[in-house]
């Protein structure tokens, strides 16, 4: 049964930073995200921009390996948690700011790498009538801020609760657009590993909804399968 009181993902980003962090802290227990980034490009001494950084999933993962990481999001609630995580980590090579993907407060050709996880696609999802213009504006901004021969690397879902990748209906504009503008692609598993079935059900239901929450219980999952697409583009 649908839970009509369940917050939307947009509302969660604005108000539920701590609970969202509890969920995403369980993802990618096998460490495939960092491994994949290293396969695409060198990380050492790089100035990295993390777009839609949220609570700092990618930014905090990258900070020990890179020269500096600058994390951006439009949600102060998400960035509050991100700042707290960085402060607790003892890392000094970071900065966190509010910013839109299409207008970043950084100089021209100053960054060595842009990463974004589960975020850039919202430009298409939240702007159904102008999605192509929004995506083109974002790509133009990437070409402005990145040095030549640098990379954009995007992570996006290909199905939560699935052992093999599927294309999500609400991203049916986003996936082909990435191919159209020249992104390369692979997919990886970024499974969630929870401490208990109760935690798996609660956090899955909180963010993904009752259908997935029920599936977690039915399958007795403490490890929730997640397929993630990785797209990357070299700026020439």
Whole-number Cα distances in Å, 71 to 55, 106, 198, 213, 215: 10, 11, 32, 31, 34
User: For the chain, what percent of residues have pLDDT higher than 70?
Assistant: 97
Beta bridge partners of 50: 71, 115
For residue 112, give every residue at least 6 positions away whose Cβ sits within 8 Å of its Cβ, in sequence order, or none.
Answer: 46, 47, 48, 67, 146, 147, 150
- Whole-number Å distance between alpha carbons of 170 and 158: 11
- Whole-number Å distance between alpha carbons of 211 and 205: 8
- Domains of the chain (ranges; CATH) run 9-195+225-234 (3.40.50.150)
Is a pLDDT exceeding 50 seen at residue 236?
Answer: yes
User: For the chain, what percent of residues have pLDDT higher than 90?
Assistant: 93
Residue found under tokens 């590993």: 193
pLDDT range class, residue 6, cuts 50, 70, 90? low
Structure pTM? 0.94
User: For the segment 134-189, what is each residue's pLDDT rounded down to a tens digit?
Assistant: 999 999 999 999 999 999 999 999 999 999 999 999 999 999 999 999 999 999 99
Asked if residues 113 and 151 have their Cβ atoms less than 8 Å apart, the reply is yes
On average, the pLDDT of the chain sits at 95
User: For the segment 192-207, what is each residue's pLDDT rounded down to a tens digit?
Assistant: 999 999 999 999 999 9
Tokens at residue 35, please?
A: 């491994």
82 phi, psi to nearest 5 deg: -60, -45
Q: CA quadruple 210, 211, 214, 216: dihedral positive or negative?
A: negative
Dihedral, CA of residue 202, residue 81, residue 73 and residue 177, to nearest 10: -40
Lowest mean pLDDT of 4-8, 54-58, 104-108, 174-178, name the range. 4-8
For residue 45, give every residue at least 6 positions away whose Cβ sits within 8 Å of its Cβ, in sequence order, or none.
Answer: 66, 67
């Amino acid at each position: 049964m649908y839970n009509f009181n369940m917050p939307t993902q947009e509302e969660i980003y604005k108000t539920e930073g701590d609970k969202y962090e509890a969920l995403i802290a369980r993802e990618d227990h096998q460490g495939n995200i960092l491994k994949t980034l290293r396969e695409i490009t060198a990380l050492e001494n790089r100035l990295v921009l993390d777009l839609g950084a949220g609570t700092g999933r990618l930014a905090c993962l990258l900070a020990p390996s890179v020269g500096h990481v600058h994390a951006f999001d439009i949600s102060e609630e998400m960035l509050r948690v991100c700042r707290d995580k960085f402060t607790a980590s003892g890392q000094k090579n970071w900065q966190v700011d509010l910013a839109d993907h299409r207008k970043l407060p950084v100089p021209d050709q100053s960054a060595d790498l842009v990463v974004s996880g589960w975020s850039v696609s919202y430009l298409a999802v939240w702007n159904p009538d102008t999605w192509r213009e929004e995506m083109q504006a974002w790509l133009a901004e990437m070409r402005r801020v990145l040095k030549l021969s640098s990379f954009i690397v995007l992570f996006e879902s290909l199905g939560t609760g699935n052992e093999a990748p599927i294309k999500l209906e609400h991203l049916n504009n986003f996936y082909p657009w990435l191919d159209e503008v020249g992104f390369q692609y692979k997919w990886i598993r970024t499974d969630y590993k929870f401490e208990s079935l109760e935690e798996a059900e609660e956090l899955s239901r909180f963010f993904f909804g009752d259908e997935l929450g029920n599936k977690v219980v039915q399958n007795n999952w403490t490890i929730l399968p997640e397929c993630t697409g990785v797209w990357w583009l070299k700026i020439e």
